[in-house]
């Protein structure tokens, strides 16, 4: 009978999943415990060493040392000694396969997904090999748990802690700075007046030329545009100065 359902290896400092076992369980309860495990993985730095969170049907166990932690979802019938023995074996296998530099430089989730093969082998061994064949390892872990009991977490601890909920860190929104345009200088006012005068002259010339062109020939339309385009350009040349001037006069 399987008692260890799921296992993963995560980086302690940020909870980045490095590898995980293939998931064959898709019940709603199991998926809920997967969510709890993911949420807890983000806060492993707060719980160095070993810890457990137990529920009615499932339990989460984790064991961390350095920047690598192994986590597992087990049946509630799985003894804590066996769960922690499994996690310690998994930790040794992983750290023997990958050096600390590779682990520290990992930037994407499940960067060492090929380690799933080792997880499956170790998981099968603990699920189907009799306890008598692992007696010495289990006794060693049992003595360690007596000397330093694991941290016992509640189900609430796997959901919300220190402002982290469901594996998401809340965003801190700050008010945007209130910017105001600087007052227009004397040179800016002079530039604005000259632009207005040039625009007015171009408009007057364009209107007179349009009247003349309509009477003479259609070829003169290009000349009309030659004055109207500069007029529009003058209007939009210094919009910032225009609005600043209006803001000061209002």
| CATH code of 98's domain | 3.30.450.50
Residues 205 and 124 in one domain: no
Residues 43 and 85 in one domain: yes
Please report whether residue 244 resides in a domain: no
Last residue of a domain, one of 131, 153, 175: 153
Q: What is the mean pLDDT of residues 220-224?
A: 58
Q: Which domain holds residue 144?
A: 4-153
Backbone Cα Rg of the chain: 36
Please report whether residue 169 resides in a domain: no
- pLDDT more than 70, % of the chain: 71
In whole angstroms, give the CA distance from residue 179 to residue 207.
Answer: 41
In whole angstroms, give the CA distance from residue 40 to residue 4.
Answer: 18
- Reported as a single tens digit per residue, the pLDDT across 157-210 is 777 544 444 444 444 334 444 444 556 677 777 777 887 887 777 777 766 766
Instruction: Mark 62-82 as b/e (b = at least 16 C-beta within 10 Å).
Output: bbbeebbbbbbbbeeebebbb
pLDDT at residue 36 is higher than 50: yes
In whole angstroms, give the CA distance from residue 233 to residue 76.
Answer: 77
pLDDT at 224: 56
Beta strands in 104-207 (DSSP E): 151-153, 160-161, 164-165
In whole angstroms, give the CA distance from residue 106 to residue 14.
Answer: 11
Residues 90 and 138 in one domain: yes
Q: What is the mean pLDDT of residues 69-85?
A: 95
- Comparing 10-24, 50-64, 87-101, 219-233, the range with the smallest average pLDDT is 219-233
Q: Is the pTM of this model over 0.75?
A: no
Please report whether residue 96 resides in a domain: yes
Please report whether residue 167 resides in a domain: no
In whole angstroms, give the CA distance from residue 159 to residue 59.
Answer: 14
- Reported as a single tens digit per residue, the pLDDT across 112-164 is 999 999 999 999 999 998 877 788 889 999 999 999 999 999 887 777 544 44
Please report whether residue 12 resides in a domain: yes
Kindly state the tokens that stand for 242: 């225009």
In whole angstroms, give the CA distance from residue 85 to residue 133.
Answer: 13
Q: How many domains is the chain partitioned into structurally?
A: 2
Residues 132 and 16 in one domain: yes
């Amino acid at each position: 009978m399987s008692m260890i359902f799921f296992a993963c290896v995560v980086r302690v400092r940020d909870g980045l999943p490095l590898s995980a076992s293939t998931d064959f369980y898709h019940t709603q309860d199991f998926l809920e415990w997967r969510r709890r495990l993911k949420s807890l993985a983000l806060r492993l730095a707060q719980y160095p060493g070993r810890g457990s969170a137990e529920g009615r049907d499932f339990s989460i166990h984790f064991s961390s040392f350095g920047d690598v932690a192994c986590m597992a979802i087990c049946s509630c019938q799985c003894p804590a000694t066996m769960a922690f023995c499994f996690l310690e074996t998994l930790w040794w296998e992983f750290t023997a396969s990958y050096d600390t530099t590779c682990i520290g430089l990992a930037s994407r989730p499940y960067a060492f997904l090929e380690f799933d093969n080792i997880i499956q082998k170790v998981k099968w061994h603990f699920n189907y090999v009799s306890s008598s064949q692992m007696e010495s390892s289990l006794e060693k872990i049992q003595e360690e748990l007596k000397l330093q009991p694991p941290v016992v977490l509640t189900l609430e601890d796997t959901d919300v802690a220190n402002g982290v909920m469901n594996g998401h860190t809340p965003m801190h929104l700050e008010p945007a700075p209130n910017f105001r345009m600087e007052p227009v200088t004397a040179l800016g006012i002079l530039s604005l007046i000259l632009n207005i005068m040039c625009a007015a002259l171009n408009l007057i010339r364009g209107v007179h030329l349009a009247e003349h062109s309509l009477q003479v020939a259609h070829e003169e339309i290009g000349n009309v545009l030659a004055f109207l385009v500069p007029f529009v350009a003058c209007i939009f040349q210094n919009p910032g100065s225009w609005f600043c001037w209006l803001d000061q006069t209002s």
